[in-house]
């Protein structure tokens, strides 16, 4: 029996409500799983940590995150903390986690559950059953390259500069993550860049090709220009499985892909760091894409699916529990097919429910599938 450690950071607003639903699934897995057990600890992050400790993340909570097998994060922020100093704002807690754990790989799946296919802006047949993953490099490229400035020229005009920079090491490590992920899925990896007009694209293509040659056994690599990738995502997204790309293209492609599938309340994500030199395990933080939703916080209306699906990603990518992860995904699809809908995904003639009822329905379905 393997024991996995998980740090829960529910945070503020609906973060607390949606995390409670994951805790119920964790208890069930601890009771029923014959292969793994979870030890969980919790701590404060964001506004609640500011209230208790005067900082959005204490050193002690940071140390727990560094030591955990994975971190599951809810959401932070809210009007109560709008006036705190910039470096102490709730979001600074999340940024510190990302920075100190050096989480350079951002995973954004786009999954379209058949029961929600009608809600997509694309045709049902294009998105029904879609299950792809955009892997975005998160700590380099255009958003961080220097120089980054606006200067005034002699004739009074201004000149703005952003610099896109990538090194071999930065590309290689994200390519390795892409290969690992593709191997855990269907074995297909697309690498998107702009080698036709950008030097970083030329290097990206070269390094991804070499990394695949050295480490990509069992994974088929395809190169695609990022603009064509955008077109293909809208034309026929199901041709993809994992797409690895840089920070700027990844920002755009992941938002486009995610929104094919509906509400913010449905979108999970993960950020991964470098593998540990001894164990090979990667630092990892899993979180819903949405925020603390102050407009519905405390009312039991939040959709817990994004957070439950984020936990499913932790099972798949941190704990090698693909069977259990599949089970969670199946349970979510099953409950949606039964007609359960929180307000954000409500459709005519469906069964309106709140956070706890949706959580209970998923829990029951997980239990049924495990039997």
Closer residue to ligand NAD in complex, CB, 293/361: 293
Closer residue to ligand NAD in complex, CB, 10/201: 10
d(CA 227, CA 2): 44
Query: Which listed residue (125, 146, 155, 295) binds ligand NAD by CB under 6 A?
Result: 295
**Annotated catalytic residue 251:** yes
Among 195-203, 208-216, 239-247, 302-310, the segment contacting ligand NAD (CB under 6 A):
302-310
Phi, psi of 204 (to 5 degrees): -55, -50
CB of 148 to ligand NAD, least distance (A): 23
**Applying CB under 6 A, does 221 fall inside the site for ligand NAD?**
no
d(CA 242, CA 284): 18
d(CA 70, CA 8): 9
Catalytic residue among 113, 194, 286, 317: 194
Beta carbons within 10 angstroms of residue 137's beta carbon: 26
Contact 30, 3 (CB under 8 A): no
d(CA 170, CA 175): 9
Catalytic residue among 180, 241, 246, 251: 251
**Applying CB under 6 A, does 264 fall inside the site for ligand NAD?**
yes
Query: Which listed residue (290, 354, 362, 363) binds ligand NAD by CB under 6 A?
Result: 290
Sign of CA dihedral 13, 14, 20, 23: negative
Phi, psi of 101 (to 5 degrees): -90, 0
d(CA 353, CA 34): 32
Query: Which listed residue (48, 76, 270, 309) binds ligand NAD by CB under 6 A?
Result: 76
58: three-class secondary structure by DSSP: coil
Closer residue to ligand NAD in complex, CB, 237/262: 262
Q: Which residues contact 323 (CB under 8 A, 6 or more apart)?
A: none
**Applying CB under 6 A, does 203 fall inside the site for ligand NAD?**
no
CB of 90 to ligand NAD, least distance (A): 7
d(CA 249, CA 246): 6
**Applying CB under 6 A, does 268 fall inside the site for ligand NAD?**
no
CB of 67 to ligand NAD, least distance (A): 22
CB of 195 to ligand NAD, least distance (A): 33
Closer residue to ligand NAD in complex, CB, 216/288: 288
**Annotated catalytic residue 37:** no
Q: Which two tokens stand for residue 211?
A: 């990394």
Q: Catalytic positions, please?
A: 143, 194, 227, 251, 255
Binding site for ligand NAD (CB under 6 A): 14, 75-78, 91, 94, 264-265, 287, 290-296, 302-303, 306, 342, 344
């Amino acid at each position: 029996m393997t024991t996995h450690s998980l740090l829960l950071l529910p945070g503020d607003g609906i973060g607390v409500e949606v995390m409670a639903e994951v805790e119920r699934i964790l208890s069930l897995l601890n009771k029923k799983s014959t292969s793994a057990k979870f030890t969980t600890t919790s701590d404060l992050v964001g506004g609640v940590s500011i209230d208790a400790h005067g900082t959005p993340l204490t050193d002690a909570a940071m140390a727990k995150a560094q030591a955990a097998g994975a971190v599951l994060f809810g959401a932070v922020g809210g009007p109560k903390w709008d006036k705190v100093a910039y470096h102490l704002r709730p979001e600074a807690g999340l940024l510190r986690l990302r920075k100190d754990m050096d989480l350079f790989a951002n995973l954004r799946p786009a999954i379209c559950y058949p029961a929600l296919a009608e809600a997509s802006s694309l045709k049902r047949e294009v998105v029904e059953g879609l299950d792809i993953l955009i892997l975005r490099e998160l700590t380099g490229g255009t958003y961080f390259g220097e120089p980054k400035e606006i200067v005034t020229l002699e004739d009074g005009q201004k000149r703005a500069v952003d610099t896109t920079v990538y090194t071999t090491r930065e590309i290689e490590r994200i390519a390795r993550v892409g290969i690992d992920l593709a191997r855990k899925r269907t074995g297909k990896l697309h690498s998107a860049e702009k080698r036709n007009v950008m030097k970083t694209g030329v290097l990206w293509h070269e390094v991804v090709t070499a990394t695949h040659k050295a480490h990509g056994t069992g994974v088929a690599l395809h190169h695609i220009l990022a603009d064509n990738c955008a077109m293909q995502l809208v034309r026929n997204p199901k041709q993809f499985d994992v797409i690895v790309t840089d920070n700027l293209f990844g920002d755009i492609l992941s938002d486009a892909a995610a929104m094919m599938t509906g509400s913010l309340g449905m979108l999970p994500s993960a950020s991964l760091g470098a593998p540990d030199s001894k164990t090979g395990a990667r630092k990892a933080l899993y979180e819903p894409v949405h925020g603390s939703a102050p407009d519905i916080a405390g009312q039991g209306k939040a959709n817990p699916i994004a957070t439950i699906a984020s936990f499913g990603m932790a099972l798949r990518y941190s704990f090698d529990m693909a069977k259990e992860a599949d089970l969670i995904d199946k349970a979510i699809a099953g409950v949606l097919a039964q007609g359960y809908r929180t307000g954000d995904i409500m459709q005519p003639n469906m069964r309106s429910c709140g956070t706890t009822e949706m959580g209970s329905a998923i829990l029951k379905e997980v239990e049924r599938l495990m039997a």
